[in-house]
Structures are given as C-alpha cells and as structure tokens.
Structure 1
Amino acid sequence: MAKKNGVTVVNIGISDKDRKKIVEGLNHLLADTYTLYLKTHNFHWNVTGPMFNTLHLMFEAQYTELALAVDLIAERIRALGFPAPGTYREFAALSSIAEAEGVPTADEMIAQLVAGQEAVVRTARSIFPIVDDAHDEPTADLLTQRMQVHEKTAWMLRALLQ
C-alpha cells in the first residue's frame, strides 16, 4: 500500500490536508462517543431507585446504540486512510466528556448523560465546516445521523428530569 509522509495514499477527491483535518475531528467524535458509551454502561450497571427498571433498560438500549456508533465512526476514519484511536489513554486525551465520579444518584446519572449526549452533538457539529468545504458527503451523512440520534436521546433523557 502506498504511503506519502506516513499517510496512506487515498485518491477519493479529498485532499490529504482536508482528510487529515476531517479525521482529527472524527477522532474527537470517536473519543466522545466511546466515553459516553462507557459512562452509559457504568450507569446501567449501577443505577438504583424507584425508576431502576426503566433506567436500566433505557441505558442498555443507549449503550448498545453507542457501541455500534463507535464502529461506524472508526470505520470512516479508516476509509479516509488514517488509523483510528483505540486506547483509553487516547480517548481520555481526545474526549470532551468527563468520567463520572463515584456512583451518582439516578437523577444525577440522567443529567450527566444529557450533558454527554449534547457534548457529542457539539463535537459532531464542529466538524461540519471542514466536511462541507471538502465535499465529504459520506462523513456529512454520518455526522447528521449521529446528531439526530444524540439530540433525540438528550431530549428523552431531559424529559425524565421534568
């Protein structure tokens, strides 16, 4: 496989410079998504209280969806010719989502997950300018789909706090 300056040569109509910028954004999106996956899975295991069954099942559906999403994002990074980050250390350095401290109450869990869902939307939205400029429609489609899922999930979680 041909490489140029350590980057796999990919001739899909997007310059190396633009692919690199897009991947930098996708790396942050992958890290945020994986961190939110871990947080949601943690809360699934540790939630207690009168809404236990509802939240336990809801969190399971959410972390399952996130597990599939990380694969889609990582595969897009690979399709653009770059390695995907895949370690806790890399994700911690790239993510905008903080880990949970201790075991929060159910309401605190929900609030943290709302914040996490919204953070992923902001990260996805921040990538759009370079994606649009590069005419990278597959990445734009991925970002749009991710934003739809996270905005809807945040809305559903917020509804539980009202």
Structure 2
Amino acid sequence: MVSALSLANGLTLLFAALCLWTMAMQSRGGVTTLGRVALPGGFAVLATLMLLAGVFEASFLFDILWVVAFAVGSVIGRIRGWMLSVQSNRESGLVSLPATVDGLIAALILVALSIIDFSSAMMGEALIEPGYIAAGSALCAGFLGYRVLVIALRVVRPKTDKVSRAA
C-alpha cells in the first residue's frame, strides 16, 4: 500500500535534494567548516526517516532489512571516514577534505529513491515496495552519517603524541 501524495513526499524529496546539493559542494574537496561537512549526513538521515515513516504495511522482514541496511551503511561509512585524508585547523575551525565521489554517489541514490517514492505516491501504485526504498535509503544515510561522524571525531579529537618515557 502506498500513501497518497502529500507534503511528506515533497519534504522527503526536498531533504534528499538538499543532501545531494550539499554533498556536491563537498565532493569537490577543499576547505570548509565542520558544520558544512555535517549537512549532507543530516539531510540524509531526515530523508530516510521520512521514507521509513511512509512504510504503512510494515513487517518484521522490512524492519530487519532496514536495520541491517543502516548497520552495513554505517560500517562502510565509518571505514571510509577513516580512509579519507582530513586536515584541520582548530584555531580557525576549518577542515580540509579531499575530492571524493563516494558521498556524491550515495546522495544520488538517495535522491533516486526519493523520486521513486514521490512517483509511487503520485500514481497511487508502488513502483518499488516502500520497505525496500526505506532500506536503500537507510544504507545511504548510514554511510553518509557515519562518514561525517568519523570525520568530526578526527577533527575534534586531540592528537596524542606517543612518547615513550624512560622509567
């Protein structure tokens, strides 16, 4: 069952588009603030929660699928966040990121899933089962969210010098 076209479908598409827009700027690399680095992940989580709320015929299978997809995306995002070469200047609060395409691909997938959800609601017929759309978006949101979380931890965590002390 698909819900009728509503403001929620439009907001989901808006959040996904904002995720793509902010991720497109970030994927070019360069210097930015930590707050701007966090924007795509935040928009992705909002879009995913909106898509999850649109699953009316929830089943245990879809719940497990959503949680597993989010966990897999989170693990991949965590790994990717540690692999990026991130440099920060704590005094000015700026972060230097390399140019990457991985976050842009995840944001594009999220937009595609939101468009499918919007089209399904507009036609009144599910093009893809809403549970699968929510699970796919959870994978993207987990990736983008944990990628940002790791980058933020790397930026704010003080670097410790490992100095061996003679006893």
More strand by share: 2
Q: TM-score range by the shorter chain?
A: 0.3 to 0.5
Q: Which has the higher contact order (CA 8 A, sep 6+)?
A: 2
More helix by share: 1
Relative to the length of structure 1, the TM-score reads 0.42
Structure number with greater Rg is 2
